Amino acid sequence: MTLNWTYSVMAHEMKSSAIREILKITERPDVISFAGGLPAPELFPDRNLLKACTKVLDEYPNKALQYSLTLGVLPLRKTIAERLTQKGCTGLTEENICITSGSQQGLDLTGRVFLDKSSAVICENPTYLGAIQAFNVHHPQYVTVDMDEEGMIVDLVEEKIKKYKPRFIYVVPNFQNPTGRTMSLKRRKQLIKLAEEYYIPIIDDNPYGDLRYVGEDLPSLKSLGGELVIELGTCSKIVSPGLRIGWIAATTEMMNMVERMKQGADLHTNTFAQYVVYEYIQAGNLDRHIQLIKDSYSQRRDLMIKALKEYFPENVKWTEPEGGLFLWVELPEGVSATALLEEAVRQQKVAYVPGKPFFPYEDKDNTLRLNFSNASHEMITEGIKRLGKVFKENITQVSSKKKVPTK
């Protein structure tokens, strides 16, 4: 039966995530996937989470199974505030924290709080696809700023602030998704100075900040900028994405706005999961687990970089991130990573995410993102070898007359 229902304009305009569509392909057991931003499931702390679940149900089931405050349960909010304070963020209490259903809801709520139609948003180019999806509901104007190895080129920001008067500046300064790049300390301070001068909030999307493998930790934008910075965090990369526990750290004034927006979305985040995460942290498990996954992901990162050097063509470039879950590959101009994905899956049964969806406006299709956290050592070596074969066969070399696949 065909039902002639009338759907909203928004429902028709919203597009499915390119990454989610690719992940459908990678469900096939014979495909080696570097596509999703997935943590390694074999490292999930299931035993310690089971202990936390048992303690929650034994000691306070009535609270954990009940409705809770929109901003989140007080013990977890206090714990998050204390951890951020230990990292240099001053003046934070539980009143500055809202627990969200993953940091993706944090993006959605900040978009609801700040954006109207045609509102300007300054962001990195490329930027996180999930942020584009969350903000697109409001039909904003993206004011993109190019990146180099030190992250967003902040020297270009002031002129754009004056011209477009943005509602906020959105950045992923630590091991950025998708490029893996990290904003330098000099540029962090420079960006904070601009935010102070023009009184513009900065959205610091920081899901990867704890996952540094090389070099020294840098102070967060929140620790440098105080109330001017709204930080989004999550347990998805450091505990488990299935728990869907994230948070917003911001002023109490913004918390009032966020609370009203969240009440219209889900009333509150999963109460039981909040208490489980709280007990898990209180037991001293989180920092030990972070070190465990850092050790493992660091090895996988090193192995992928080694394989890239061995198997990729000389005219292909890539980033070497100091942390996080991703690295960024740039193919020669005119080569379509989207078209080559079809070849890679069909011929070699290996998948990645084309870079094109990470650019709000540019049609830059010669880039792609690779994830190294979810694959085993053997899969990383074999998958990069297969991918290198696809690139060597399809990318025009200086001495080759072979036609380059284009989209």
Write out the two tokens for 17: 């995530």
Whether residue 233 is found in the same domain as residue 149:
yes
Write out the two tokens for 156: 């270009």
**H helices within 156-198, ranges in order?**
157-164, 185-198
Whether residue 293 is found in the same domain as residue 257:
no
Whether residue 92 is found in the same domain as residue 221:
yes
Q: Domain for residue 352, yes or no?
A: yes
Q: Domain for residue 50, yes or no?
A: no
Q: Is the peptide bond preceding residue 173 cis, with omega within 30 degrees of 0?
A: no
Q: Domain for residue 400, yes or no?
A: no
Write out the two tokens for 257: 């706005």
Residue 103 sits in a domain whose CATH number is 3.40.640.10
Q: Domain for residue 404, yes or no?
A: no
Decide which of 265, 284, 303 is a domain's last residue.
284
Decide which of 259, 284, 309 is a domain's last residue.
284
Q: What is the pLDDT of residue 198?
A: 97
Whether residue 226 is found in the same domain as residue 329:
no
Q: What is the pLDDT of residue 20?
A: 66
Q: How many structural domains comprise the chain?
A: 2
Q: Domain for residue 53, yes or no?
A: no
Write out the two tokens for 48: 């310690």
Whether residue 251 is found in the same domain as residue 308:
no
Per-residue pLDDT of the chain (407 residues; tens, 9 = 90+): 678 899 898 888 877 766 666 667 667 788 999 998 999 999 999 999 999 999 999 999 999 999 999 999 999 999 999 999 999 999 999 999 999 999 999 999 999 999 999 999 999 999 999 999 999 999 999 999 999 999 999 999 999 999 999 999 999 999 999 999 999 999 999 999 999 999 999 999 999 999 999 999 999 999 999 999 999 999 999 999 999 999 999 999 999 999 999 999 999 999 999 999 999 999 999 999 999 999 999 999 999 999 999 999 999 999 999 999 999 999 999 999 999 999 999 999 999 999 999 999 987 899 999 999 999 999 999 999 999 999 999 986 433 444 444 44
Q: Domain for residue 20, yes or no?
A: yes
Whether residue 217 is found in the same domain as residue 273:
yes
Residue 294 sits in a domain whose CATH number is 3.90.1150.10
d(CA 69, CA 275): 13
Cβ(391)–Cβ(316) below 8 Å: yes
Q: What is the pLDDT of residue 93?
A: 98
Whether residue 38 is found in the same domain as residue 70:
no
Write out the two tokens for 105: 């809801």
Tokens 């610091």 found at: 204
How many other CB atoms are found less than 10 A from the CB of residue 255? Answer: 19
Q: Domain for residue 151, yes or no?
A: yes
Whether residue 162 is found in the same domain as residue 29:
no
Q: What is the pLDDT of residue 400?
A: 46
Whether residue 312 is found in the same domain as residue 325:
yes
Domain extent for 236: 63-284
Decide which of 261, 284, 307 is a domain's last residue.
284
Cβ(164)–Cβ(145) below 8 Å: no
Q: Domain for residue 405, yes or no?
A: no
Closest CA to 168 of 250, 288, 75, 238: 250
Phi, psi angle pair for 363, to nearest 5° = -100, 60
Whether residue 253 is found in the same domain as residue 382:
no
Q: What is the pLDDT of residue 103?
A: 95
Whether residue 236 is found in the same domain as residue 95:
yes
Q: What is the pLDDT of residue 2?
A: 73
Whether residue 252 is found in the same domain as residue 389:
no
